[in-house]
Structure 1
């Protein structure tokens, strides 16, 4: 039995995507507060909750919840096929990149919680590596969207703007 793929993303998938984008951007933009607090905590052994720490923890928790929700929606509804005109190798890369996003959006909050709540230094180190990997993947994703729009002219961005 073949499964029919939707022609586009649902309104909820699109909303969750953009909410996640905003939350991840805020985590990067407001990173200094948690980084400074973590340095102090490692030196003193006191993991005090301040406004920057609470904001980072709340943001990470929301990102984790949204990533799980997005995975459930993806499993239930599916995703649209690659746009016409996209070379097959790039369709496979896009698939792996999306899986990478979900893995990182789940692993980052988990390692962050282990670093802060569990006071596990190795988890903090892993968190920083994963943070760099996510930034690289974000830049690659934005670059791929630009290639779709400007070079291949597939209209890909419309799929994240209008439900299909």
Structure 2
């Protein structure tokens, strides 16, 4: 696989689609705890609430995104990036992928498997994922507007 200096159209589209779907999923997550409690008590609830459907969509999109990333590669850090910062970037992306896959799986285990520990893990995972996403966005903005190294533009203008 040849080394890339930017992302492909597919990678950029999937990045923003996943971001928007995660935001929608988070927005529609309010009240899921009450639904789980109602369900556990034998009350009537939707078979698949919108939040759960969106969460499963996030999982599917992230898997597709990961396959695209593995097939097409990804750009190295911008020139001048220290080895420590490049490693932090790589580990940050790994953490994002682990959580973007693990959080929906935990949510599905909580909803479909009625597993209380999965619900707790899902809630903790969501909080960590939100912090990582906010950090990811803040660092992209820092690189673009403070360092002026074009990092953010790479996720807006395709290389292909």
Matched, 1:159 2:154: yes
Counterpart residue number, 1:80: 75
Q: How far did 1:47 drift? A: 6.5
TM-score by length of 1: 0.90
**Separation of aligned partners in 1, 2:117 and 2:140:** 34
Q: 1:28 aligns with which of 26, 29, 38?
A: 26
- Matched residue of 2:109: which SS? helix
Which 4+ residue blocks in structure 1 deviate beyond 3 angstroms?
A: none
Deviations 1:36-56 (A, max 9, x none): 3123234x1447216xx5211
Deviations 1:49-107 (A, max 9, x none): 16xx5211211111111111111111111001101233332211111111111111111
Check whether the contact 2:144–2:153 (CA below 8 A) recurs between aligned residues: no
Unpaired runs of at least 5, structure 2: none
Q: 1:49 aligns with which of 43, 46, 50?
A: 46
Counterpart residue number, 2:109: 114
TM-score by length of 2: 0.92
**Separation of aligned partners in 2, 1:95 and 1:47:** 44
Instruction: Count the aligned residue pairs.
Output: 159
Q: 1:40 aligns with which of 38, 41, 46?
A: 38
**Separation of aligned partners in 1, 2:119 and 2:51:** 14
